[in-house]
Amino acid sequence: MIGSTFLLALAPSGDSSKGDSDGSHGGYTDLGEWVGDVLAPLYRSGEDQLGISGVIVAFLLLAGAFFSLVSAIGIVRMPDLYTRMQAAAKSSTLGVTCLVLAVAFHFSASPVALTVAVETVLILVFIFLTTPASAHLIGRAAYFVDVPLWERTAHDELAGCYDTPNHDISKNQRLTPSASSPKDTVEPQRATG
């Protein structure tokens, strides 16, 4: 999948001599030229020729901006620390992934393409390794210091499993009866639209 996309980015897409509009795709030797001619109305407008690599770069930049905006809206609008953390972790990871892949595609025709690709992969590996771990650490610490959940939270599986004097979570059994814990609030009638 990724390899075929790289082939698309590296494929020559300049000439329009191979039958743009007649619909016959018999003369194409590889998939990149065919996709380049299919996507021709996107980028072939006179001298503003973007190329298939440029189209991919522009699409990835817009997708990365969209997902970054989604994560920012989530961190402002979500009602709870834990839901905010979910929005900030997952969506921003996808947005930065799109932006960094845009860098790799933008440098795909330059002499330093391999170095840029290796650095890009390093950035992606570090972000994919560290973002879920940091979200987990912060969520666990926030549960320990009693950051309140949303009042309309349906179910809290850790309620009652938390040993207050030791600040530790027991593994299997509930330490206190769950009915006495104020966090275990299950609302039978939720306002679902």
Partner 1 sequence: MILESVDNPILGVVIAITAGVLAVGMLMAAYRLIKGPSLPDRVISLDLIGTLAVGVIALYTIVSGRREMLSVAIVMALILFLGTAAFATYLHRRARP
Task: Name the DSSP class of 20.
Answer: S
Is residue 26 a contact residue for partner 1 (CB under 8 A)?
A: no
DSSP string, 33-88: HHHHHHTHHHH-STT---HHHHHHHHHHHHHHHHHHHHHHHHHHH-SSHHHHHHII
Task: Name the DSSP class of 147.
Answer: P
Is residue 93 a contact residue for partner 1 (CB under 8 A)?
A: yes
> For residue 132, what are the contacts with CB-CB under 8 A and spacing of at least 6?
89
Is residue 73 a contact residue for partner 1 (CB under 8 A)?
A: yes
Burial class (CB in 10 A: 0-12, 13-18, 19+), 1: exposed
Is residue 119 a contact residue for partner 1 (CB under 8 A)?
A: yes
Nearer to partner 1 by Cβ, of 109 and 154: the residue is 109
Is residue 161 a contact residue for partner 1 (CB under 8 A)?
A: no
Is residue 134 a contact residue for partner 1 (CB under 8 A)?
A: yes
Using the contact rule CB under 8 A, the part of the chain among 22-30, 32-40, 47-55, 173-181 near partner 1 is 47-55
Is residue 170 a contact residue for partner 1 (CB under 8 A)?
A: no
Is residue 61 a contact residue for partner 1 (CB under 8 A)?
A: yes
Q: Is residue 177 within 8 Å of 162, Cβ to Cβ?
A: no
Q: How far is CA 149 from CA 4, 6, 45, in A?
A: 45, 45, 53
CA neighbor of 105 nearest in space, from 71, 159, 160, 60: 60
CB of 70 to partner 1, least distance (A): 9
Is residue 153 a contact residue for partner 1 (CB under 8 A)?
A: no
CB of 183 to partner 1, least distance (A): 16
Q: Which residues contact partner 1 (rule: CB under 8 A)?
A: 43, 48-50, 54, 57-58, 61-62, 64-66, 68-69, 71-73, 75-76, 81, 84-85, 88-89, 92-93, 95-96, 99-100, 102-103, 106-107, 112, 115-116, 119-120, 122-123, 126-127, 129-131, 133-135, 137-142, 144-145, 147, 165, 167
